[in-house]
Chains A and B, each alone.
Chain A
Amino acid sequence: GQNIDQPTEMTATEGAIVQINCTYQTSGFNGLFWYQQHAGEAPTFLSYNVLDGLEEKGRFSSFLSRSKGYSYLLLKELQMKDSASYLCAVRDRAGGYQKVTFGTGTKLQVIP
């Protein structure tokens, strides 16, 4: 099975930088995703990491350390529209299938 932990809520200021952490425990790790979900809407894909290191994509970056079971999502130059929940999701091999398990999400509030 999997255990995924991320903070429940965070608040940050417009224009600032925020880091959302995710820790996980899994027996057959095969990739980690970050999704953004605005209230009442569908999750949308942000990033994917399978190797250690930092992946940068515009204002958003995602980092992975497989040995530590740790990832973070870094949001720079925060905008009000970044207020949303951020879901960490881990893929692992289970019975030959690649299954994805989602964390409970971190609700980010961006304030002026």
Chain B
Amino acid sequence: DADVTQTPRNRITKTGKRIMLECSQTKGHDRMYWYRQDPGLGLRLIYYSFDVKDINKGEISDGYSVSRQAQAKFSLSLESAIPNQTALYFCATSEGARTSYEQYFGPGTRLTVT
């Protein structure tokens, strides 16, 4: 089984709809992240959480919210989706103790807002 899972894997929604993307991990990591990836712009950080009670905005948090329901679960919500939120969304995890820790990415959710 995959260590970091994301649901759904693909989603098409309409402008103005609320949508939630979910991420679960079995790696036991404290730190979790949400990124979006757009052609030519690379991976951009939306929100990150270093433990259940610690949530922080990334560089592009406007229009998004998150919830850290447990150590293993971190969900991303779009309260009112708009077309420029069409992107590939990745969840990632990492350990907290070592500075050399790499991030482990989920398989991604391809979101299309029409």
Binding site for B on A (CB under 8 A): 30-31, 33, 40-45, 48, 50, 87, 89, 91, 97-105
Apart from the given pairs A42-B107, A43-B43, A48-B102, 13 other A-B contacts in the complex at a CB distance below 8 Å? A41-B107, A42-B90, A43-B90, A44-B105, A45-B102, A45-B104, A48-B100, A87-B42, A91-B99, A100-B45, A102-B43, A102-B44, A103-B42
Q: Contact check: which of A44, A45, A99, A104 meets B42 at CB < 8 Å?
A: A104
Name A1's closest neighbour in chain B (CB-CB).
B59
Q: Contact check: which of B40, B99, B106 meets A98 at CB < 8 Å?
A: B99
CA distance A100 to B56 in the complex (A): 13
Q: Are A45 and B103 interface neighbours, CB within 8 A?
A: yes
What residues of B have a CB within 8 angstroms of the CB of A105 in the complex? 42
Name B38's closest neighbour in chain A (CB-CB).
A104
What residues of B have a CB within 8 angstroms of the CB of A40 in the complex? 108
User: Which secondary structure dominates chain A's binding surface?
Assistant: strand
Q: Mask for B36-50, Cβ within 8 A of A = 1, else 0? A: 000011111100101
What residues of A have a CB within 8 angstroms of the CB of B56 in the complex? 97
Whether A87 contacts B43 in the complex (CB less than 8 A), given A42-B90, A42-B107, comes out as yes
Whether A50 contacts B105 in the complex (CB less than 8 A), given A87-B43, A104-B40, A105-B42, comes out as no
